[in-house]
Amino acid sequence: MNKISIAVIGLGYAGLPLARLFATKYPVVGFDTNSARINELMAGTDSTLEMDNALLHSVLKSAPDTRAGLFCSADLEAIRQCNCYMITVPTPVDRNNRPDLTALLRASEMVGRVVRKGDLVIYESTVYPGATEEDCIPVIENTSGLKCNVDFLAGYSPERINPGDREHTVEKVRKVVSGSTPRAAQIVSRLYASVVEAGTHPAPSIRVAEAAKVIENTQRDINIAFVNELKKIFDRMDIDTNAVLEAAGTKWNFLHFKPGLVGGHCIGVDPYYLAQKAQEYGYHPEIILAGRRMNDSMSEYVAGEVVKKMVKQGIQVKGSDILVLGITFKENCTDIRNSKAADVVKALEEYGARVTVCDPWANPADVRREYGLDVRKEMPAGTFDAAVLTVSHREFVNIKIDSRVFYAIR
């Protein structure tokens, strides 16, 4: 590939930073089916707050051309002249925790409508080992009539975006890369190395790269599940879990994890992708699924602990006023996908409490649409029977709350 022209399909938390980075050196067209998202980006605004607006504006251009820069569009025709397609769409699970590849397969079909001989297709979405070559590439082949490794090449380089993290940005994190052939792997590695300061790590195959990504988050999930179980144990013993972890953390090889609600689109989802694939091979993953069960149980546990504290204080739970601080899936970001804080709210409401939710980061309209909950961005005035810190936004660090009971997951 001589003159590279890149299309990034999916302009969310992973796609936008990737598109912006490549746009500093190559002509890039960012494609997303959400026209409202396209309009805000072309106006130089990122509602996810993951990218500084000035940084985004610095690479924007008003039309697709051969100059380096970023043009965003919801029109598939805008990416037809590109020769490198990077797919960065979400890969969630359904209500039964089964992998949902709907968006990924739709994106593959779209690419199949525009890909040409000599082009390169790279997947970044988190999947189980084998998904790229067994599920996605056949869709491109069937739609385009072209053959992978004959007419076009493919690669996989899993995203490593950490929402809300301003330190470990895409250019500063080493990129795992792989290709459908040795030549494809070399092209993918050179392409990413040209913009990623931290360099690349070439994996020997696409399946290895897929497996590496899915275990990154599975490992974190299991470790968090361990400290969540510790919290349940030490709460019964009336021991401060954080004090225990601080003391144990003085040893050089102790791994530092804290108890918490594990939601979002990565840690709370990816283990299910690996688990399902393992089961297809006749193996039932006990530790992985045990970790998931532990972490998924924490919302009910938090609600139950709040209620216990209220009862001990002689507070009637039914009809009480409870303040919940935080509804996003993690601190200092706007992402509300798979929020376990929302499950805490619903559990408290099932006890008959009146719950007020405050979150300075969340978009109230998105929360209403996703969870049917009302959210205040400003701290409400008045007295509450109980307050629950579910998400440790920086705005909540030194907050003063008038409540008889206060509970923090961390």
Catalytic residue numbers read 266
Contacts 24+ apart (CB under 8 A), 150-153: 151/117, 151/118, 152/115, 152/116, 152/117, 152/118, 152/119, 152/120, 152/121, 153/119, 153/120, 153/121, 153/179, 153/180, 153/181, 153/183, 153/184, 153/187
Distance separating the N- and C-terminal Cα atoms of the chain: 50
Rg of the chain taking only CA atoms, in angstroms: 23
Phi, psi (5° rounding) for residue 334?
Answer: -95, -5
Structure tokens at 335: 């992402």
Q: Amino acid letter at 185?
A: A
Nearest to 130 by CA among 289, 286, 279, 274: 274
The per-residue b/e assignment along 293-308, b for 16 or more CB within 10 angstroms, e otherwise, is ebbbebbebbbebbbe
Going from the C-alpha of 231 to that of each of 243, 330, 406, 408, the distances in angstroms are 11, 19, 16, 12
Phi, psi (5° rounding) for residue 159?
Answer: -65, 150
Strand pairing report for 120-123 and 84-87: parallel
Strand pairing report for 175-179 and 153-156: antiparallel
Structure tokens at 359: 């979150």
CA atoms of 28 and 5, how far apart (whole Å): 6
Going from the C-alpha of 132 to that of each of 35, 157, 325, 329, the distances in angstroms are 27, 11, 39, 28
CA atoms of 120 and 84, how far apart (whole Å): 5
